Structure 1
Amino acid sequence: MKSLQILCPVFREEEVILEFHARLRAAVAALGERYRVSFVYAMDPSPDRTEAILLALAQRDPDVRVLVMSRRFGHQAALIAGIDSCDADALIMLDSDGQHPPELIPQLVEQWENGAQIVQAMRQDGAETGFLKRTTSAMFYRVISRIGSIQLNPGAADYRLLDRAVVRVIRDEVQERNIFLRGIVAWVGYRIAFVEFEPLARMKGASKYRPSVLINFAIQGISSFSKTPLRLCTITGLIVAALSVLAGAAQVVGYVFGHGVGAAGWASLMTFVSFLGGLQLFFMGIFGEYLGQIFDEVKRRPRYLIRTDSATLAKTQDGAELPRAIEVD
């Protein structure tokens, strides 16, 4: 019997996590006749009771494993932790807030059974998604596909199935510190199939993604898969240098023929100098982003640290038993 592992990143989901798990269980119940199904919840430490709830759940359900990070490493690191721990024939990853419908999982498995090694769920945003989010998301996918080294289809979400072969490549061969997983999945190749879905409303609560996190996510994706911004700096520099040479030559010719420039034009001159200064600072910022990427890579720090693993943890550090006060249906 083949095995399926379902990976869900978690952060501050105490209000919905048990309801989500019950819904997830129901969605894959039919698959239990053909596959051994297990569940991994990879979570950043939460200020609420999410950790206690999940550890109690893991005690009662032998198919559940909980990985708790030593600090908040972020969504992508949680996914990588789950990939590193995967020993199943296929890994399915989806968010635990309910927006990724678990009921889609049988369709992902069906595509895998038909030969696909990556089954990518494609998000089809509707009116429930704000105009600004839809517009900026579409712009990001368009930009990275045009200037990057990968073809990233609009709507590609962190909801996908990966065959064991793909998991092994990402786990053993891809060692980037600041990984952009959506891009990596597109970059590795292999046989891929797509399944569309409409995102559901969050079961409860609000999104944990702040605008600054989304901006950083976009910068990370572009700088990981494209050198075009650096080349743009070079091209712009050459154009400005050429224009400066032409302007200088015009000044010399005007001086030779008695058309020297007086003191007039200081406003336009200062405007031009300020524009060049801003352009230089902007380009230095681009260089800094790439330099920061290199800096993170050469430090070789681990991408995450696991503080608690329910698979090996029988007792907490102080010797007390794990939480049992939370009833799990």
Structure 2
Amino acid sequence: MKLISIVISMYNEESGIAFFSNNLIKELERIKNYNFEILWINDGSLDNTQLNIEKSCSAGKENVKHVFIQFSRNFGHEAAMLAGIDNSCGEAVICMDADGQHPPAEINEMLKAYEEEHEIVLMQRTDREDHGLIKSSMSKMFYTIINKLSVVKFQENASDFFLISQKIAELLKQDFRDSNRFLRGFIQEVGFNKKVLEYTAPKREFGESNYSFFKLMKMAFNVVFAFSNKPLRIVILISISFFLFTIAFGGYSLVQYFIADSIPSGYTSIIFFISLSFSLMFLVLTILSIYFEKTIKEIKRRPIYIVRKIEIQD
């Protein structure tokens, strides 16, 4: 039977991890003709997440193997998913979160799409039961902005709940080792046969979301600077526009001095000119500094994550 790897990212999920794992294993037992390995990635949790998941998975199931991977500290959700993919052995890999908002009941449909020779199966969130108008608007704005700036056009509301074939997993293991990561973007960038399935994200029953407004903003910046050079082109356009403005302003001053035989009133114009100059200059420096920072991180090639412990339970 085919082996399917399921990667679960966990961070401070002690209150709901047992409930989620029980639901997941029940769903996997219903799916015949497959063996499963579940890679539980503890992303430096500060609570009893590790203890609770090991207790919950202590009873072995015939077609399910558990792999527990603990990080030395918190490296982030993207690093946790990548660690699971790196250690996966299955013919296909499914990534999902442990917060209960990626329904295990959808796994069977994902596998059907995979058997139809789709090497990438994206799960598109059509509704979220605990999302209000503000969060929904923020999500829509996020995808609008990055699709305007990025070369890669992302599937709107595609989540970190997805399936990839072993071929895609090997690409992520070997080639996509960026320090500035966006996995759901990487898997849409590589091409191959893709299918999009829709699902409704249930309300989070346990714990609180680890994604604050500022974390979402940080992720948006990471995506833009990882997949687009348009900010650099915008800087060039700003520089050209400012150069033309400077020439026009200088020409006007010369005309007033030599032809109109009058000195233009200078205080307001000079203050405006200096303020605009410094504002644009600092904008240019900010954009260049962000690209420079990202480049330095890539050059350093520091580890994406550090594993403290790996345990395998058959």
TM-score range, shorter chain: over 0.9
Distance in 2, Cα, partners of 1:127 & 1:38 = 30
Structure 1 residue ranges without an equivalent (≥5): 313-329
Q: Secondary structure at the match of 1:202?
A: coil
Kindly state the Cα deviation for residue 276 of structure 1 after the two structures are TM-superposed. 2.6
SS of the counterpart of 1:311? strand
Aligned to 2:158: 156
Moved more, 233-242 or 250-259: 250-259
Letter in 2 for 1:300: R
Greater share of residues in strand: 2
CA contact (8 A) 1:7 1:39 kept: yes
Q: Which amino acid aligns with 1:287?
A: L
Alignment of 1:217 with 2:219, yes or no, is yes
1:261 Cα deviation after fit: 2.4
Residue of structure 2 equivalent to 1:51: 50
* Equivalent AA in structure 2 for residue 309 of structure 1: I
C-alpha contact (below 8 Å) 2:21/2:53 kept by paired residues? no
What residue in structure 1 maps to residue 5 of structure 2?
A: 5
* CA apart distance, 1:130: 2.3
Whether the 8 Å contact between 2:120 and 2:193 is mirrored in structure 1 is yes
Counterpart position of 2:66: 64
- Alignment correspondent of 2:189: 187
2:8, 2:98 within 8 Å by CA — same for their partners in 1? yes
Contact 1:57 1:64 in 2 (8 A): no
> Hey, what's the Cα distance between the residues in 2 that align with 1:265 and 1:28?
76
Deviation at 1:59, TM superposition (A): 5.0
**1:325 aligned partner:** none
Equivalenced residues, count:
310
**Superposed displacement of residue 52, structure 1:** 1.7
Q: TM-score, normalised by structure 1?
A: 0.90
Partner of 2:95: 93
Distance 1:126 1:177, change over 3 A: closer
Question: Quick check: 40-49 or 3-12, which moved more?
Answer: 40-49
Cα distance, 1:134–1:276 mapped onto 2, change above 3 Å: farther
Q: Which runs of 5+ in 2 are unaligned?
A: none
Classify 1:181/1:277 alpha carbon distance in 2 versus 1 (closer, same or farther; 3 Å).
Answer: same
TM-score normalised by structure 2 residue count: 0.94
Report the equivalent of 1:286: 287
CA deviation after TM superposition for structure 1 residue 57, in Å: 4.3
**2: CA distance between counterparts of 1:306 and 1:77?**
11
> Secondary structure at 2:47's aligned position in 1?
coil
Find the aligned partners of 1:182 and 1:282 in 2 and give their Cα distance.
Answer: 29
Q: How does 1:1-329 map to 2 (within 5 A)?
A: 1-31=1-31, 33-57=32-56, 59-61=58-60, 63-125=65-127, 128-262=130-264, 264-311=265-312
Deviates more, 1:276-285 or 1:211-220: 276-285
**Identity %, equivalent residues:** 27
d(CA) in 1 for partners of 2:134 and 2:285? 29
1:78 Cα deviation from its structure 2 partner: 0.1
Runs of 4+ more than 6 Å apart: none
Contact 1:68–1:306, Cα closer than 8 Å, also in 2: yes
